[in-house]
Structure 1
Amino acid sequence: MKLGLQLGYWGQGPIDNAPALVAAAEEAGFDAVFTAESWGSDAYTPLAWWGAATSRVKLGTSVAQLSARPPTSLAMAALTLDHLSGGRHIIGLGVSGPQVVEGWYGQPFAKPLARTREYVSVVRDVLARERPVTNAGPHHPLPYPADRPGATGLGKPLKPITHPLRSDIPIWLGAEGPKNVAQTAEIADGWLAIFYSLRLADQYEEWLAEGFARPGARRTRDEFEVAATVQVVITDDVAEAVERYRPSTALYVGGMGAKEKNFHAELYRRMGYGDAVDEIGALFREGRKAEAMAAVPDEMVRETMIAGTADEVRAQIKQWEAAGVSMLMVTARDVETIRRLAALV
């Protein structure tokens, strides 16, 4: 089992002790460090800033949002960071949701599967640098079609001036639903699994297997990474740990998506928490956040956690590994926790 440190995105400000956390993760033998973005801090700037003080640990985005950048721009950032880090970058991508895509980026959310496939294809073409990059797809056409409003018709196919250090920088995709996970197995090098549940492990493997079986699939199951974001808490008081992470579960289920489209809520429905999801969502939409948090059942929080004494946590990690998870992306926020987690694996 590999360990990744998930620094995520910022709240009101930067993570105060991030440099110490990153240094501790590298010293303890963590495989990677990840940053994310929502509608505040971006993923690449902190990753480059903090990563500059490292020499071994991989540097990943989990996730960079597709609608934040054209695929050529993402590829530029990726090849730049990969050069600066000596070949340690992992491209982690995700579609986000319609509230963010249309409300923050002013982009259409429709056809997320097709958009993802096209985006990844363009990024790979840029990194391959075999020929000027063109794309006939409707979502990211290159050059920009001359018959579209505002076009000059002067667009020219280009390839990057800078030669990528690696033409095959790994691309991992955030995915939650069956079609998205299957496509991830088909076109990507890894799956960024948020809210992974052991109870659904067999179902996840079925979705992945569908993608691996498609003609032209990029990887086999043995070559493919499954990186699961998880709260790992070494404690004698599991109830306290559950209470600590209850607000986060409530926020993602009730506040990180629209009533009509919330991928996190749909995932928890698959786990069997449909009634709780309905109640939490309704309370959030009414602005009753404290009540929404209180409505989250203990077992719903515990579903996606690894918690207990050191021996119990070690045993649970082995269960996740046996289920097919190759990396635990942990959200540790103190150096001692990072060291203790490293000692367990």
Structure 2
Amino acid sequence: MRVSLRVRYAGPAALAELVRAAEDGGYDGLWVSEPWGVDAGPVLGWCAATTRRLLLGTHVVSVFARTAAATAGLATSLQTLSDGRFRLGLGTSGPQVVEGWHGVAFERPVAVTGETIAVVRAALAGEPLQQGGSRPLRTAWTGGSLTVPIYLGALGPRNQRLTADAADGWTPTPYSPDHHATFAAPLVDRLAGNGRTVAIAPVCPVAMGSDVTALLALEKGWSGLYLGGMGTFYADAARAMGFGDAVAAVREHWRNGDRRAARDAVPDGYADAIGLFGSPQRIRDRIERYAAAGVDELVVELRKPDLGDQLADLRAFRKAVG
């Protein structure tokens, strides 16, 4: 099982420290998220120039944030700059970001994702694209065809089926190995029918220490945001895991503007189910759940806010899991 790091860009100094620690510490890959206001492309270009062996990826870029052809251009640039180490992570995001930040209608998300995959693959292969009734155009890249693995951050059943049919990897968040059979049922069923395989690379929040309750509180702050205010797909995933009553409470508090109550309504059991928290021994014991579920790559997201604590957890986690 590979172990990779997902980072949220917070400036060049912190990025340099985390990337260096991941490269030197034996991590297999580095994923860069793209929240609103940050472009993952330049960040990953810098990472490509300053690393030697880490696999690099977007985790994830919204299919609504760029035209499909522009996404193909992003993949072309990063695959060539990294000497073949790039992976394209795609997702839909949600209407709050797509409409509120990008100013684009959040319509036909699964269809747009499928169309984006098709255009990206065709453009990278050097095939002509004809869009909007104009004459066909080929990519201006003259270095030959490229192959870039495509991962989808798919949670809904239709998007999971699209992953099984057209993608190379599945990288969900949230994810719990304890609920894999239910949570990933559409993906598993479709793969059983079409004979394909995809890499399973879920996000795994991590915080290390002896006070598990305090560490879970770090995750509950993030989960309150995602379950309460970031679209129904995160809430639906938690419901599928059996936390329907808690989701209802979190969302009610969020609608009422009580962020603290929303955080506190997230059960410890939910936070513990979607990440790895505690001492090195506790983490060693619990990481076997991911291997047993068939996870190919664990995408670690550090939950402590302080950079020094993040670096310490980054090193300690890799040592703990071997």
State the TM-score, normalized to the length of structure 2: 0.92
The one of 300, 316, 322 equivalent to 1:340 is 316
Secondary structure at the counterpart of residue 50 of structure 2: coil
Number of the residue aligned with 2:31: 34
Number of the residue aligned with 2:217: 243
Number of the residue aligned with 1:133: 129
Number of the residue aligned with 1:72: 69
Could you tell me how far 1:284 is from its partner in structure 2?
1.2
Aligned partner of 2:206: which letter? V
Secondary structure at the counterpart of residue 202 of structure 2: strand
Number of the residue aligned with 2:296: 326
Q: Distance in 2 between matches of 1:59 and 1:240?
A: 32
Q: Distance in 2 between matches of 1:235 and 1:166?
A: 47
The one of 44, 47, 51 equivalent to 1:47 is 44
Secondary structure at the counterpart of residue 248 of structure 1: helix
Which structure has the larger Rg over C-alpha atoms? 1
Distance of aligned partners of 1:184 and 1:164 in 2 relative to their CA distance in 1, 3 Å threshold: farther
The alignment-based identity, stated in percent, is 36
State the TM-score, normalized to the length of structure 1: 0.86
Q: How many residue pairs were aligned?
A: 315
Query: Does 1:178 find its partner at 2:157?
Result: yes
- Per-residue CA deviations over 1:149-199 (Å, capped at 9, x if unaligned) read xxxxxx221111213566221000011122211210110000011011123
Q: Distance in 2 between matches of 1:164 and 1:3?
A: 31
Query: Does 1:168 find its partner at 2:147?
Result: yes
Could you tell me how far 1:205 is from its partner in structure 2?
4.8
Could you tell me how far 1:15 is from its partner in structure 2?
6.5
Q: Is the 8 A contact 1:193 1:229 kept in 2?
A: yes
Number of the residue aligned with 1:4: 4
Could you tell me how far 1:324 is from its partner in structure 2?
1.2
- Per-residue CA deviations over 1:313-341 (Å, capped at 9, x if unaligned) read 11211221110111111123532322222
The one of 308, 313, 328 equivalent to 2:278 is 308
Q: Is the 8 A contact 2:215 2:278 kept in 1?
A: no
Secondary structure at the counterpart of residue 52 of structure 1: helix
Aligned partner of 1:125: which letter? A
Superposed structure 1 runs of 4+ greater than 3 Å apart: 163-166
Number of the residue aligned with 1:152: none
Q: Distance in 2 between matches of 1:245 and 1:209?
A: 28
- What CA RMSD, in Å, does the superposition of the two structures yield over aligned residues? 1.8
Q: Distance in 1 between matches of 2:210 and 2:5?
A: 23
Q: Is the 8 A contact 1:61 1:92 kept in 2?
A: yes
Q: Is the 8 A contact 1:127 1:164 kept in 2?
A: no
Query: Does 1:269 find its partner at 2:239?
Result: yes
